[in-house]
Amino acid sequence: MQYRVAVVGASGYTGVELIKMLLAHPHFKISYISSSEGDESISALYPALSEIFDEVLQKTDIEAIKEKADLAFLALPHKSAMEVAKPLLEAGVKIVDLSADYRLKLENYEAFYTKHTDPKHLKDAVYGLPEINREKIEKASLVANPGCYPTATLLSLVPFLPYLDLSYPLMIDAKSGVSGAGKKCFSKTHYVTINENVFAYNPIKHRHSIEIKEKLELIAKELVDLVFVPHLLPITRGMLVDSYVLLKEPIDPLEVLQDFYANEPFVRIKSEPVDVKAVAGTHFCDIFARREGKKLFISSAIDNLLRGASSQAIANANIMMGLDETVALPKIAYIP
């Protein structure tokens, strides 16, 4: 079975990662790629792909996508995404949206982003974290791909929710490679700013805070207070999220994780601290935890562009189209 897929906003990093995986996907054929300007070839933007994928980006055209695609991956900025998604959904095109536009409840979205222009579809959107939401994704026409930081954070915290003393805030110190900041050149992505440096940004106020909070509260069915502070690191790809939480009673954290993820091929539980190179280039999430008394430290590593965006999008699309979820999901890291 072959499905035609579009990649809208294919010129950015998550776009090119989607293309890289789709080239090896036996059931998804790239039928349409576009950007806002159009008229640039992927191999001009990414010489690495010359003689492999030399297609030219179209200027994003909704009618063309309706015609050419069974499913569209939207790798667009928030706000633009829902403007494109809305008519495509009306036309029956399945959507995996990599932006935040369909991830949150309306009131949270509007408090932290902007006025929502497609509340109708928002209410049926499914949050695309397969380990948590697989059954809903199967039936979804619209999947909101989680943010990178929330992916790593939720995968590490959800298993512990029943055991946490939620009268205390969850403290989350996150670290990401620079590819997470996108392709645009500005002072935070200038080599001289990042090299040999590390710093927090948007401490406490980062939009991924509300996404993490909302999803944890949905599962815990109680209020969850948290402090989330991201940092930029001088690496290209990779994300490490460290959480500091309190338990109600002592537990064996590795056992909790192993039980929760017993049948999950893409979550690995480690007895030594995880590192991002072991997952860079893959869909894996590696998780480590250590307890002392009721204090629990959890460390979670993913590839921010893959598990944090594009490979998770492929996983979601696989599920939506009734395919084996693991098809084309990369497993072999870029090591050494």
What DSSP element (H or E) covers 42?
Answer: helix 42-45
Residues 99 and 9: beta-carbon distance below 8 Å: no
Torsion of CA 128, 132, 137, 143, to 10 degrees: -20
Interface with its own copies (CB under 8 A), residue from 278, 315, 317, 328 = 278
CB neighbours of 120 closer than 8 A, spacing ≥ 6? none
Interface with its own copies (CB under 8 A), residue from 113, 251, 297, 321 = 297
Nearer to its own copies, 63 or 187 (CB): 187
Catalytic residue of the set 148, 194, 269, 305: 148
CB of 117 to its own copies, least distance (A): 30
Interface with its own copies (CB under 8 A), residue from 219, 220, 229, 254 = 229
Give residues 50-89 in contact with its own copies (rule: CB under 8 A). Answer: 50-52
CB of 11 to its own copies, least distance (A): 11
Give backbone dihedrals phi and psi of 51, rounded to 5 degrees, phi first.
70, 5
Tokens found for residue 190: 């200038």
CB of 52 to its own copies, least distance (A): 6
Catalytic site residue 185?
A: no
Give residues 150-169 in contact with its own copies (rule: CB under 8 A). Answer: 168-169
CB neighbours of 144 closer than 8 A, spacing ≥ 6? 97, 100, 101, 102, 103, 125, 126, 127, 128
- Say how far apart CA 51 and CA 300 lie, in whole Å: 37
Candidate segments 10-18, 86-94, 114-122, 253-261, binder of its own copies by CB under 8 A? 10-18
Give me the DSSP letters along 74-112. E---TTHHHHHHHHHHHTT-EEEE-SSTTTS-HHHHHHH
Interface with its own copies (CB under 8 A), residue from 240, 257, 314, 323 = 240
Interface with its own copies (CB under 8 A), residue from 148, 157, 166, 305 = 305
| Helix 130-138, helix 311-320: angle, nearest 10 | 30
Nearer to its own copies, 134 or 277 (CB): 277
Nearer to its own copies, 16 or 100 (CB): 16
Candidate segments 61-69, 101-109, 231-239, 311-319, binder of its own copies by CB under 8 A? 231-239
105 forms part of the interface with its own copies (CB under 8 A): no
Give residues 113-152 in contact with its own copies (rule: CB under 8 A). Answer: none
The residues that are catalytic are 148
